[in-house]
Amino acid sequence: MKTFLDCIPCFIRQALDSARLAKVDEATQERLLRVALKASLEMDMSQTPPAMSQEMHRAIRAFSDNPDPYREVKDRSNALALQWRAALQGQIQEADDPLEAALRLAVAANVIDYGAKSYVSEDEIHESLMHGLSAPLDGDIENFRVAARRAERILYLADNAGEIVLDRLLIEQLPPGRVTVGVRGAPVINDATVDDALCAGIPEVASVLPNGSDAPGTILDDCSEAFRDAFFQADLVIAKGQGNYETLSDVDREIFFLLKAKCPVVARDLGCELGAIVLRQSGVPARASEQD
């Protein structure tokens, strides 16, 4: 997805929010705001929004002399999700369609996104999970079910800390031993890294593969060769969240995007309601059908 004009004011607002979250003084906040303004001014609008965000968050980490300003936020989100996980696992097991229930909860947990908002409260997360279980699913789960059953190699691209704890519940519904979970190669915003995958217990159910990049999405050219190989060799790619959608929606392979549409620009691009629980299949119908 290219960058839209509406992304710019939002990006400037995010820069200020992130500077404050990194607890820098007001002069540094102004300096970071100017970095964001300059980046916006020089922006190539054909790039994806996470490309601009990546630059900005590098500046925030450098100016704040903090390699991971969102560590506290991420720890809190992981702890909260871990606290709820057993109960949600119970709800999935009792559901008529455990795969769909797990998928809905994993999408609803995508509300924990400190790129789209500057603060996400416990109440908001809880409301989103309840909404996710009952709201209409915008997408066709049957294609996803078939693709998941057939795939030998599944690459599951995680999005945020906290969310990744509930991603595990969906991974438990996929064929065992076939899933690799891709995470960011280095901290950026509250995106999930290897640390969060470990905290979520992902190694108990899947392999973990850092993508080698610090973009808040999946910019393939910026990822490691090992990650790109895994990406193109997978029979099924599941990509969580807006950042992964924004960076992969124009990539030439089949991808199942699972996300909560939290911003009007992404919702418009997807042709869905704001706040919708979205499952979208994109790209060329690929390996899953070739293997029939």
Q: How far is the CB of 263 from a copy of itself (least distance, A)?
A: 13
- CA-CA distance, 14 to 156, in Å (whole number)? 27
Residue 91 CB: number of other CB atoms within 10 A? 15
**Smallest distance from the beta carbon of 24 to a copy of itself, in angstroms?**
12
Least spacing, CB of residue 52 vs a copy of itself, in Å = 12
Q: What is the C-alpha separation between 281 and 256, in angstroms, rounded?
A: 5
Please, what is the minimum distance in Å from the beta carbon of residue 160 to a copy of itself? 22
Is residue 57 within 8 A of residue 189, CB to CB? The reply is yes
b/e per residue 21-54 (b: at least 16 CB within 10 A)? bbebeeebbeebeebbeebbeebeeeebbbbbbb
Q: Which is nearer to a copy of itself, 41 or 86 (CB)?
A: 41
C-beta closer to a copy of itself: residue 3 or 244: 3
Nearer to a copy of itself, 16 or 220 (CB): 16
Q: Which residues bind a copy of itself (CB under 8 A)?
A: 5-6, 8-10, 12-13, 16, 26, 29-30, 33-34, 37-38, 40-41, 45
Q: Which is nearer to a copy of itself, 37 or 82 (CB)?
A: 37
**3-state SS assignment for residue 185:** coil
* Cα–Cα distance for residue pair 12/268, rounded to 1 Å: 21
